[in-house]
Amino acid sequence: MAKIYWANLLHFYQPPIQIPEVLRKVVDESYRPLIDVLGQNPHAKVTVNINGVLTEMLFESGYQDVIDGLRKLALRGQVEFVGSGKYHPILPLINADEQRRQIRRNHLTNKHFFGDAYRPRGFFPPEMCFDGSFLDAVLDVGHEWVIMSGVGCPAAWPTKVIYRAKSVDGHEIGVVFRDDVLSNKISFQDLDGKGFIDHLQSAYGDDGDMYIVTAMDAETFGHHIENWDQLFLGEAYEAVRPYADVVEARSLAASTRTLLATMPHAAGAGDQIIPTTISELFDLFAPGEVIEPRPSSWSTTHDDLDADVPYPLWKAPGNYIHKLQWEHVALCDDLVARAQRLADTAVSKRHAEIARGLMDPALHSCQFWWASRRPHWDVNMISRGLSQQGEVVLNAFRSINLSQAPEEEKREAYYKVVAARDLRGKIHDQLFWD
């Protein structure tokens, strides 16, 4: 009987502007129950992305048990961590320096809190917003593969091989595609755990081993959908337990291929479905051809791609607020760069450093997502993000103005400040009246 390897990725993230009460609810309703479900099912395996900003928020808010729980599961081989951008920026929409900074800072933050349990082979671009611009930065940190939405796959759908892509510098990296249809069915409660397992058994033929990758927000389980941690994940893991009991929750490695091929199957409804991590798929399946994935996100449709709109929830043609937001980001970029270049006194260097630090969280994706009107719209989330960027402008210009830079440089910088103020006013006008 063919074996079906199910690799599931859970994406843990909260924005840096999240209010404490919401974070508490997410921890109680989702993160702690998820850790419990995995602990109750020692054969279960998942790939986990947790953005560094959330790891820090959990620590600072007193939720050390969530960090410890994930670390323990990782040391037991049930969880593998992957890398990302620390503050959940849309990587294709920010410049190369910011890409590298976000990726590097994410790695350092999670390494600090998870220690030796944090050994990421893979990479999760926030919102699965993919293009080739950030792949060299991903490779530089040591990642071997990147996950993206299935809508961006330009070749035959992979179930037995793992495609590769090339970075701008010509280096190869593995590319894993999420099954968008199944992932969305899970996220929108169209399949319960047993139904999902039944679907896998009926949809995949007995023509050799194959794999499937699903991925969704961790908050789906328990926070977005009440008790979905048990009703889906608990039920699915229970359905595949008979086979897992035979393999005794061994960590799949290259040598495991021989072990599984010679091991007798246990009886049971889910005896050919094996939970695994994404990285373990690379030890079990051969590399495929080199492809050029299409820029996309996990919210992008085929119609969006036909219209050449790869990131519709974050930068959509015709969305006036998106246009203003990204113009404001560009001014922030310019002012931070000027501040770092011109700072030459103790006080100017201090404000340049503050501006540089504030720029990182000011790039978080949620402020653009909530302005998409597809159907997401929240004036407060948009306003909070804009306020963060306003503080970047404030400190960057103070740095320039308190430096010994020529008056012409200061005057040019002030023109940028005036332009940024105008953009913030236009955005606020839209929030007041639209």
**pLDDT tens-digit readout, 279-300:** 999 999 999 999 999 999 999 9
Residue 324 and residue 297 share a domain:
no
Q: What is the pLDDT of residue 203?
A: 78
Domain closes at, from 274, 304, 334? 304
324 and 265: one domain?
Answer: no
| Cross-strand pairs, 166 | 172
Tell me the pLDDT band of 408, cut-offs 50, 70 and 90.
very high
Contact residues for 432 (Cβ-Cβ < 8 A; gap 6+): none
Instruction: List the beta bridge partners of residue 221.
Output: 225
Residue 171 placed within a domain: yes
Q: What is the pLDDT of residue 253?
A: 45
93 in the same domain as 15:
yes
Q: Is the pLDDT of residue 11 over 70?
A: yes
- Interval 44-54 mean pLDDT: 98
- Neighbouring CB atoms inside 10 A of 363's CB total 29
- Confidence (pLDDT) at 243: 52
Q: What is the mean pLDDT of the chain?
A: 93
Would you list the DSSP string of 348-392?
A: HHHHHHHHHHHHTGGG-THHHHTTS-SS---HHHHHHHHHHHHHH
Rounded alpha-carbon distances, angstroms, from residue 211 to 6, 72, 153: 6, 26, 16
Where is the domain boundary, 279, 304, 329? 304
Residue where a domain terminates, one of 269, 304, 339: 304
Do 228 and 337 belong together in one domain? Answer: no
Task: Decide if 313 is inside a domain.
Answer: no
Whether residues 369 and 337 share a domain: the answer is yes
Residues paired with residue 7 on neighbouring β-strands, in sequence order: 213, 276
Cα separation, 92 vs 146, whole angstroms: 14
For the segment 10-17, the average pLDDT, to the nearest whole number, is 97
CB 232 within 8 A of CB 199: no
Same domain, 33 and 70: yes
The closest alpha carbon to 193, from 155, 230, 164, belongs to 230
Q: Which residues does residue 143 pair with via DSSP β-bridges, in sequence order?
A: none
Please give the distance of CA 293 from its chain centroid, rounded to a whole number.
18
| Structure token pair of residue 188 | 């929108």
Question: Is residue 353 over pLDDT 60?
Answer: yes
Quick one: average pLDDT of 385-409?
98
363-379 average pLDDT score: 96
Is 314 within a domain? no
Whether 374 and 313 have beta carbons less than 8 Å apart is answered as: yes
Dig out the tokens for 122 from the structure.
Answer: 């893979």
CA atoms of 58 and 34, how far apart (whole Å): 15
The per-residue pLDDT for 207 is 76
In angstroms, the CA 80 to CA 95 distance is 29
Q: Which amino acid belongs to residue 375?
A: P
Structural domain for 402, as ranges: 320-433
The structural domain count of the chain equals: 2
Cα–chain-centroid distance for residue 407? 43
The answer to whether the CB of 428 falls within 8 A of the CB of 383 is: yes
pTM of the model: 0.93
The 10 Å Cβ neighbour count of residue 326 is: 17
Q: Which of 240, 210, 207, 234 is nearest to 222 (CA)?
A: 234
Count Cβ neighbours within 10 Å for each residue of 96-107 and write b for 16 or more, e otherwise.
eebbbbbbbbbb
The reply to whether 80 and 216 lie within a common domain is yes
Distance of CA 33 to the CA centre of its chain: 21
Q: Is residue 311 part of a domain?
A: no
Regarding whether 44 and 146 lie in a shared domain, the answer is yes
Q: What does the block give as tokens for 346?
A: 């103790």
Over residues 152-177, mean pLDDT: 97
Q: Residue 309: inside a domain, yes or no?
A: no
Q: Residue 266: its pLDDT value, please?
A: 37
Both 268 and 326 in a single domain? no
Residues 15-33 pLDDT 10s? 999 999 999 999 999 999 9
Q: Which residues is 162 bridged to in the sheet? A: 287
- 66-75: long-range contacts, CB 8 A cutoff, minimum separation 24: 66/27, 66/31, 66/32, 66/35, 67/113, 67/114, 69/32, 69/35, 69/39, 70/35, 70/114, 70/117, 71/114, 71/115, 71/117, 73/35, 73/38, 73/39, 74/48, 74/114, 74/117, 74/118, 75/116, 75/117
pLDDT of residue 70: 98
**What are the C-alpha distances in Å from 411 to residues 257, 270, 291, 342, 373?**
66, 69, 48, 13, 38
Write the CATH number for 33: 3.20.110.20
Residue 315 forms part of a structural domain:
no
Can you point out the beta strands (E) in 45-178?
46-50, 79-81, 122-123, 145-149, 161-166, 172-178
Check residue 264 and give its pLDDT. Answer: 37
Same domain, 328 and 256: no
Q: Residue 226 corresponds to which amino acid?
A: E
Q: What is the pLDDT of residues 225-277, one digit of tens each?
A: 999 999 999 999 999 985 545 444 444 444 444 444 443 333 344 448 999 99
pLDDT class of 205 with cuts at 50, 70, 90: low
- pLDDT at position 260, please? 43
Sign of CA dihedral 102, 107, 111, 114: positive
**pLDDT, mean of residues 407-428:** 98
How many angstroms from the chain centroid is the CA of residue 286? 26
Q: Is 216 within the bounds of a domain?
A: yes
Q: Is residue 310 part of a domain?
A: no
**123 and 35 housed in the same domain:** yes
Same domain assignment for residues 399 and 257: no
Distance CA 422, CA 330 (A): 14
Strand 172-178 and strand 161-166: pairing? antiparallel
> Which pLDDT value is given to residue 98?
98
Q: How confident is the model at residue 206 (pLDDT cuts 50, 70, 90)?
A: low
